Amino acid sequence: MSVPRGDGRSRARGEVVPEAEFRSYYGRPVLKQPAWTIEVPWYFAAGGLAGASATLTLGARLAGNHRLARGAGTAAAAGIIAGVPLLVSDLGRPARFLNMLRVVKPTSPMSLGSWVVAGFGPAAAGAAAADRLGVTPRLARTAEVVAGLLGLPMATYTAVLLANTAVPVWHEAGRELPLVFAGSAAASAGAAAAILTPAAAAGPARRLAVAGAALELGSAAAMERRLGELGEPYHQGAAGRYARLARVCTAAGAVTVGLAGRRRPAALAGGLALLAGSAFERLAVFRAGFQSAADPRYVVGPQRERVGR
Amino acid sequence: MTVTPLPTPTFGGGYDRQAGPRMGFFTDTSICIGCKACEVACKEWNLVPEDGPLALTGDSYDNTGALGANTWRHVAFVERQHEDQGLRWLMSSDVCKHCSSAACLEVCPTGALFRTEFGTVVVQADVCNGCGYCVPACPFGVIERRQDDGRVFKCTLCYDRLKDGLQPACASACPTDSIQFGPLEELRERADRRLETLLEAGVGEARLYLRDETGGVGGAGAFFLLLDQPEAYGLPPDPVSTTRDLPKLWRSAAVAAGALAAAVAVALVGDRR
């Protein structure tokens, strides 16, 4: 999508300029900066890790790989236990967190997401605790199934949440953003399980880590290609730095885990790199939205193109 | 009484025939004199706090800047040098649009934002938990979180005054009737006549903004007569309610979730121990 040049101030300053020039009101942004704090992208990373880990737990259990199920289950519980406080503390009124469960609103990905978290959290944490303690095995298996299935929306709803805004770099990436988040979640879940599981049982985790990294990098590249000039924030400022870090860490981590993950130090180093890459990916997407909303060019340009001059 | 149908399911049906006609604002910027009485009246009536230290922006007579948590009416001043007409000074009082398809309301996870019996969009301060989702959802950059409070605030179209049969404070204070309040159907007819008059008088730049229900936000409860392109006033030229694309977004998420499940399954193939 093309975006006009200039700062949009010249017309408002009283100069007569060609109609083709982009216009704005004293260069002021049309959109507000999102109110969300830095806890939000960290929650996206933790929630994605938890969701994909729970699905891996269920898969490993069904495949009879119980050591992998335990490692992945631990990651799922850790992810959601770390994630929920991040989510609550971002609210302007944290004490009113439970208001999230006042209504069920299909038009609000945050509403549906809250219900997913409400179901997923206790299931994932409960299943892991019961597995470790060796109590209520049948209930633990049921919880694993619930968490494993809810893990899929858990890992992807946050992408819909971002895309369902007026922020151009988020909204126009609606097709690819869920794939980026799913890939990032799979990479982190594979990495965490590869770290937490004995190498002999962690083969599927390593394969998932590599596949997730490939999906993350591939869909992020596709996203930037389709955004065109709207995707400029991914090459500028904080978002650009995070995007580069994400690419480097994810690629290096995937290669390390894929080639040498059977050895403990490599699994640890590569796994940590993948976890970092996954977090940097969410930070890049998050910051890009702020940069996109701050510049009226990205908002006015495509809209003006739509309605004609 | 005719009730303008709204796509938001909470209007009309939600009030079980108790909903009156949809009320709104028609802001005719061609007769705005930039007195800012609307800004003052709004602040006074609604007890809206100060929006920062008093300072000059250097942007013509606009020292308010933009709509926000603590600014529910904002008068824009656009100075333009025309080749033939000399200096043209445009003034326009901006406000929350009370969209027919209101993204803020649709994305609100707590139900704090709701559609009133007047068809307006209002935040329930006792329900809002400050999640902030409405802020980037609004295509006009209207609603905002109040820093020291944590909740979001915006124009209520003077819900309290409407309940008592009064008109909103800004419309009451406007000395030129640039801000007109009334049933939306009536305002639309009035706006059409005004546009016709202006076009006949040779004001070729005159145009109505957000009047029609065919737009991306389904028309708005607050619409405008502008004398330049919307973006010259800081308004988006073709705003769209983000939730219009939500079915497509959920489908993309389903594809992504499927890809995740497939990746897990493939990774586990042949792994039996």
Most B CBs within 10 A among A7, A16, A17, A32, hence the mutation to make, goes to A32
Beta carbons of B229 and B237 less than 8 angstroms apart: yes
pLDDT digit string (tens) for B154-210? 999 999 999 999 999 999 999 999 999 999 999 999 999 999 999 999 999 999 999
* Percent of chain A predicted with pLDDT > 90: 92
> Residues 101 to 130 of A: which have CB under 8 A from any B CB?
102-103, 105, 107-111, 113-114
Sequence length of chain B is: 273
Q: In whole angstroms, what is the distance from residue A170 CA to residue A60 CA?
A: 34
Question: In chain A, which residue's Cα lies nearest the Cα of B149?
Answer: A92
ipTM rounded to 2 decimals: 0.94
Q: Return the residue matching tokens 């199934």.
A: A145
pLDDT digit string (tens) for B53-110? 888 999 999 999 999 999 999 999 999 887 777 888 999 999 999 999 999 999 999 9
Has residue A13 got a pLDDT over 50? no
Tell me if B267 and A207 make a contact (CB, 8 A cut-off). Answer: yes
Residue B1's pLDDT is 40
Tell me if A91 and B129 make a contact (CB, 8 A cut-off). Answer: yes
Residue A252's pLDDT is 98
Residues of chain B neighbouring A300 (CB-CB closer than 8 A) = 231, 236-237
Q: Is A159 exposed, middle or buried (0-12, 13-18, 19+ CB in 10 A)?
A: buried
CA distances to A76, A153, A285, B107, B235 from B249, in Å: 25, 13, 16, 14, 26
pLDDT digit string (tens) for A187-232? 999 999 999 999 999 999 999 999 999 999 999 999 999 999 999 9
Question: In chain A, which residue's Cα lies nearest the Cα of B10?
Answer: A105
| B136: nearest CB among A167, A185, A307 | A167
pLDDT digit string (tens) for A104-162? 999 999 999 999 999 999 999 999 999 999 999 999 999 999 999 999 999 999 999 99
Query: What's the whole-number mean pLDDT along residues B127-133?
Result: 97
Side-chain half-sphere of B92: how many Cα atoms within 13 Å?
30
Q: In whole angstroms, what is the distance from residue A231 CA to residue B88 CA?
A: 36
Q: Which of A118, A123, A169 is nearest to A145 (CA)?
A: A123
Local structure of residue B218 (DSSP, 8 states): S
Tell me if B109 and A111 make a contact (CB, 8 A cut-off). Answer: yes
Beta carbons of A180 and A226 less than 8 angstroms apart: no
Q: Where does the pLDDT of residue A11 fall: very low under 50, low under 70, confident under 90, or very high at 90 and above?
A: very low
Strand B113-115 to strand B121-123: parallel, antiparallel, or no bridges (unpaired)?
A: antiparallel
Q: Is B185 exposed, middle or buried (0-12, 13-18, 19+ CB in 10 A)?
A: middle
Residue B82's pLDDT is 76
CA of A88 to nearest chain B CA: how many angstroms apart? 9
Question: In chain B, which residue's Cα lies nearest the Cα of A219?
Answer: B256
Largest Cα–Cα distance of chain A, in whole Å? 77
Count of CB pairs separated by less than 8 Å, A with B: 275
